[in-house]
């Protein structure tokens, strides 16, 4: 696996830790974790002004703050996917919307975040339990 793909996957697992087994998805924690990856503060805004369609999210980079704008009218899973896609553009330093490799990487990152969240939310078998066979 290429170094860039390993970086993408590892970063996805780190930011997916915004999901708490007790409290569920925490947007404030997401902003904090993505901010660490970007290197400056990040604030995610859920708005009714965006709808799922041709443009589903926006990443805005400032000098001291980045904003990720996503639609509020879609499922939480879709919000996380769109936020992760936009976050990768910030994390990887993309300057503008481009087709091709940048978009493909952002989509892969969003998919990896989704997989990591699924793994964090899946019921874990009790590791202390061991089956014992008697006679």
Inside any domain, residue 34: yes
pLDDT category at 35 given cuts 50, 70, 90 is very high
d(CA 87, CA 34): 7
Q: Is the pLDDT of residue 131 over 60?
A: no
Inside any domain, residue 135: no
> In the predicted model, what is the mean pLDDT of the chain?
85
| Segments forming the whole domain that contains residue 29 | 3-121
Cβ-Cβ contacts under 8 Å for 118 (sequence gap 6 or more): none
Region 100-109: mean pLDDT is 89
Within a 13 Å sphere around the CA of 20, how many CA atoms are in the beta-carbon half? 8
pLDDT category at 124 given cuts 50, 70, 90 is low
Q: What is the pLDDT of residue 100?
A: 81
Inside any domain, residue 133: no
Nearest residue to 81 via CA among 49, 41, 52, 120 = 52
Neighbours of 13 (CB within 10 A): 15
Inside any domain, residue 128: no
The CATH number of residue 76's host domain is 1.10.10
Each residue's pLDDT tens digit, 60-84? 999 999 999 999 989 999 999 999 9
If one counts the domains in the chain, the total is 1
């Amino acid at each position: 696996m290429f170094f860039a793909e390993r970086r993408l996957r590892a970063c996805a697992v780190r930011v997916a830790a915004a999901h708490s087994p007790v409290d569920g998805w925490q947007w404030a924690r997401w902003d904090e974790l993505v901010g660490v990856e970007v290197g400056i503060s990040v604030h995610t805004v859920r708005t009714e002004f965006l709808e799922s369609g041709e443009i589903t999210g926006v990443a805005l980079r400032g000098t001291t703050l980045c904003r990720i704008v996503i639609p509020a009218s879609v499922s939480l899973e879709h919000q996380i996917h769109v936020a992760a896609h936009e976050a990768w553009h910030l994390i990887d330093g993309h300057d503008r919307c481009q087709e091709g490799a940048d978009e493909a990487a952002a989509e892969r990152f969003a998919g990896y975040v989704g997989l990591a969240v699924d793994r964090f939310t899946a019921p874990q078998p009790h590791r202390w339990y061991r089956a014992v066979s008697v006679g």
